[in-house]
Amino acid sequence: MESTSAAAPPRLSRLTFHGPLSQDRAAALVRRLAGERPGTVLDIGCGWGELLLRVLEAVPEARGVGVDVNEEDLARGRRNAEARGLADRVDFVAESALGTRRGPADLVLCLGASQALSAAEQPAAEALRVLRRLVSDGGRVVLGEGFWERTPTEAELAGMWPGASADDHCDLGTLLDLAVAAGFRPEWTETASLAEWEEFESAYQADKEVWLARNPDHPLAAETRTALDRHRRQWMSYRGILGMAYLTLAPVTAPR
């Protein structure tokens, strides 16, 4: 049935977190982080700040700030905060994190958003140095960062994002070394499972895939189909090769 009057395809409504993060892993993270009783939480590249909100729910005395440049995601975060009775304890701020003067905070979250802190082609090293400045002594940083499970071949790179290079990421051991060099000790190291990746990538596309199936003749159908097919092929190129590490990092206190 032709449905050219249908609204534009919905965006990311199937996603709880904007990354390959399961409910179980998120719950364990929140339990560990809440045990530190942070008073202030800063979320860099927060999107709609789901993990930030869960930490605030677990630590009633804490206050939080989420920083992002996507107004649509920030609005979603504000709605969620209002619905959960957290609006008076969290601010979602539309601003760039490059050169940010925010912090130090007791807990800093940066999940899949190191590029928000560095313009470098491989931002992890610089982002970690900035994160050390943004976190209080005795606090914690949670960094969600991509890494190569194995070095991709040239053919695999050709199917990924435009201009993909083996230099875009490092391996997990090197990422941990970068964290130590930036002034942290890795308290907890974990990586997303294939099931978490598949749930994320499926949910990332699902709204638009169902919309397209129902509206194949919509004026936006052609561009939506092109974007979906392109992303699916990219995912198949990095599936099992691109990993996501979740590092809980304890800052090393500077000698007095």
Cα separation, 120 vs 125, in Å, equals 9
CB 146 within 8 A of CB 244: yes
When pLDDT is averaged across residues 1-23 and rounded to a whole number, the result is 82
Give the model's confidence band at 254: pLDDT under 50 very low, under 70 low, under 90 confident, else very high: confident
Cα separation, 35 vs 176, in Å, equals 23
Q: Which of 163, 140, 176 is nearest to 55 (CA)?
A: 140
| pLDDT at residue number 159 | 97
Q: What is residue 120's three-state secondary structure? A: coil
Give the model's confidence band at 173: pLDDT under 50 very low, under 70 low, under 90 confident, else very high: very high
SS (H, E, C) 45-81: CCCCCHHHHHHHHHCCCCEEEEEECCHHHHHHHHHHH
Give pTM, 2 decimals.
0.94
When pLDDT is averaged across residues 45-52 and rounded to a whole number, the result is 98
When pLDDT is averaged across residues 197-218 and rounded to a whole number, the result is 97
Cα separation, 15 vs 207, in Å, equals 10
| pLDDT at residue number 149 | 98
| pLDDT at residue number 40 | 98
Q: What is residue 190's three-state secondary structure? A: strand
| pLDDT at residue number 3 | 47
Structure tokens at 6: 């249908």
pLDDT digits (tens, 9 = 90+) for 131-141: 999 999 999 99
When pLDDT is averaged across residues 223-231 and rounded to a whole number, the result is 97
When pLDDT is averaged across residues 127-149 and rounded to a whole number, the result is 98
Judge whether residue 218 has pLDDT over 90: yes
pLDDT digits (tens, 9 = 90+) for 18-29: 999 999 999 999
**Structural domains of the chain in order of their starting residue, each with its CATH number:** 23-150+161-192+242-251 (3.40.50.150)
Q: How many CB atoms lie within 10 A of CB 151?
A: 11
Give the model's confidence band at 120: pLDDT under 50 very low, under 70 low, under 90 confident, else very high: confident
Whole-Å CA distances, 168 to 159, 212, 230, 238: 14, 32, 20, 13
Helices 124-134 and 172-181 cross at an angle (nearest 10°) of 40
- What percentage of residues in the chain have a pLDDT greater than 90? 93
Cα separation, 86 vs 82, in Å, equals 6
